[in-house]
Amino acid sequence: MKKIPYGIINYKDLILENYLYIDKTMYLEKLENAGKTLFYLRPGRFGKSLFTSMIYYYYDINSKDLFDRLFDGLYIHQHPTEKRNSYYVLKFDFSGLTSANKNEKQLEEEFNNKVIDGIENFNDYYKTNIEIKGVNTNQIIINFLREFRSLNLDCKLYIIIDEYDNFTNAILEGNADRFKNIVGNEGFIKAFYAVIKEYIGLGVVGRFFATGICPITLDSMTTGFNIATNISNYEEFNSMIGLTHKEVDNLLNEVVEEKNKREEIKQIMIENYDGYLFNEDAKERVFNATLVMYLLDFYQNYKSIPKKLIDTNIVVNYGKIENILKLQNNNFYEDILDELLKTSEINGTLKYSFNLLGSLNKDDLISLLYYFGYLTIKEYNEVLNKLKFKVPNKIMKETYNNYFIDILEKLKIEFTDGKLEDGYEEILFESKINKISLYVSEILKLSDNRIFMKFDEKYIALIYYTLLRHPAINTYLEYPCKNGYIDIMLFKNNNLMKNNIMIELKYIKKKDYSEELLKEKINEGKSQLESYSKDERLKNPMKYLVVFVGNELKLVENV
């Protein structure tokens, strides 16, 4: 059985050491047809590095004799292009760059070192012995390209850049002004790309391909590199990086013998790793490839599903959401977060460039969340002539939820006292939600009018969802069933929990309260619970109606 390539980013090693490879080589001819100078953006940890490595070995002149071994059985082996193995490939990898606690001089020095590493690797590999000269990035890359040109070799350069925007994105998250100084008109980043543009024009560089996350860096250096085509949102490249459902099925067939177990694992992956769409007209959504490989690698080694569905090495940092939303002290972040926390969806216009010299608007912030992978495209809204974005999966929903917990903790609201444990015990052993509901009421009293979100039943549902995170419980907010959406759905995760539990929430403002309105809400809630429970997937759950009047718990009834 072939091994799962989790953490493997060198294509040659992957193939020669007998790892599984999902064939993406059909995109090579599509890339050639798309243009000579290309940018391709995807969220972090999606599989970009392995893809650029595959490109490297396909076009590398020194790998010509390895073509059959490296690409046998793949699409491109049967459909090779004229350009295969016909370039000297210069690759820069900026994925390891950091920006924390560094001034602009230190950042430029780190960038210079990455450029020098790329050139030294080139010299070692191709035996060119081009002298590295210059005191800054601009001089170093100019001298290299001049020297390469003077060699009068038969083949041109193919420049590949992995994570072109890595450290500038980190700067952007914390300090937009510092970002402007580095990639602006006098910045060393802009000068670096201006030199590459010049030598593309001179015919020294034949092709250029760069990956990254966000178009802010791309836009900021446009005047220095305005010859590139950004293919990130092209329909034909929607699933070039990431895994389709068919590709995941193929992996599961290779790794998991039992059909029932394959179906179980596939469902877990759909809920936690799937949901990404990068063009509104694309036909299928894609999975985060790195996380799929993480789970399958664990299963292949231990024949079990990992308890933690996201590797701690790549855990999503909710603090990035806050940094993005609060950029330039804009006036929109509270409304955006409020809407996403409650509905996991938001309408907006996808921005393909950003102007950091001016203020950011709501669409800018929504687009940034999209590029970083915290949102994805749901559909096109014809009425509003906008895209509808959504939180792509459960892991990302939990990331927003962690941000919400952080907000509440800043209000000195704790989630570690004995009341929470008592609530868990009551749910697990008695299938009741009275104690957890009383605890929700206490939190509401502490947080009411001290947090920016508009107070309603979705806010209350979010509190429940925040609290009900326990190894024995799979908790869902707005769980889709045949007849609608269940406010809170609790599924058994192991035998410790006795029953699945369905919760319908109703909220009445204090100023609107009346006995008649209460009776109306109760009847409405019971009718909804009865309708939802007809979904056989729920397996005869306990059904609870909960009514709050303001921040007071008015009713908890087992229906």
Q: Is residue 407 part of a domain?
A: no
Q: From the CB of residue 283, how many other CB atoms can be counted at a distance below 10 Å?
A: 10
397 assigned to some structural domain: no
What are the start-end ranges of the H helices in 202-288?
A: 215-220, 245-255, 259-273
Based on C-alpha coordinates, what's the Rg of the chain? 27
Written as tens digits, the pLDDT of the chain (559 aa) is 899 999 999 999 999 999 999 999 999 999 999 999 999 999 988 999 999 999 999 999 999 999 999 999 999 999 999 999 999 999 999 987 876 677 788 888 999 999 999 999 999 999 999 999 998 899 999 999 999 999 999 999 999 999 998 877 766 665 666 777 777 667 788 889 999 999 999 999 999 999 999 887 776 665 567 888 999 999 999 999 999 999 999 999 999 999 999 999 999 999 999 999 999 999 999 999 999 999 999 999 999 999 889 877 777 777 888 888 888 888 898 899 989 988 899 999 999 887 666 778 999 999 999 999 999 999 999 888 999 999 999 999 888 888 888 887 777 777 666 888 999 999 999 999 999 999 999 888 887 665 655 677 888 998 898 889 888 999 988 888 988 999 999 999 888 899 999 999 999 999 999 999 999 999 999 999 999 999 988 989 999 999 999 889 999 999 9
Q: Is 406 within a domain?
A: no
Residues 371 and 260 reside in one and the same domain: no
Cβ-based neighbours of 471, under 8 Å, separated by 6 or more: 307, 493, 494
Residue 395 lies in a domain: no
Q: At what angle do helices 394-410 and 318-325 cross, to 10 degrees?
A: 70
| pLDDT value for 224 | 62
Give the dihedral of Cα atoms 144, 145, 149, 154; nearest 10 deg: 100
Residues 6+ apart with CB under 8 A from 240: 24, 27, 30, 40, 51
CA dihedral 256, 259, 262, 263 (to 10 degrees): 180
Q: CA 368 to CA 201: how far, in whole Å?
A: 32
* 450 and 354 within one domain: no
Range of the domain at 478: 412-558
pLDDT number for residue 312 = 73
Residue 338 lies in a domain: yes
Residue 522: inside a domain: yes
Contact 163, 314 (CB under 8 A): no
Q: What is the pLDDT of residue 329?
A: 81
The SS3 call for residue 502 is strand
| Residue whose structure tokens are 């070039």 | 240
Sort strands 473-481 and 386-390 into parallel, antiparallel or unpaired: unpaired
The residue from 258, 283, 314 where one domain ends is: 314
User: Are residues 356 and 301 part of one domain?
Assistant: no
The structure tokens 């009514």 sit at 547
| 207 and 114 share one domain | yes
Task: Please tell me the total count of domains within the chain.
Answer: 4
Structural domain includes residue 359: yes
Q: Pick from 237, 260, 275: which residue ends a domain?
A: 237
**Domain check: are 31 and 131 in the same one?**
yes
Tokens of 269: 């992956």
pLDDT attached to residue 273: 97
User: According to the model, what pLDDT value does residue 29 have?
Assistant: 97
In this structure, are 155 and 35 located in the same domain?
yes
Same domain? 349 vs 498: no
Position 403 in a domain: no
Shared domain check, 101 and 19: yes
| Residue 252 CA neighbour count, 13 Å, CB half | 22
Same domain, 59 and 114: yes
Q: Are 373 and 441 within one domain?
A: no
Identify whether residues 42 and 83 lie together within a single domain.
yes
User: Under a CB-based contact definition with an 8 Å cutoff, are residues 305 and 295 in contact?
Assistant: yes
Q: Answer yes or no: do 131 and 29 share one domain.
A: yes
Cα 106 versus chain centre, distance? 29
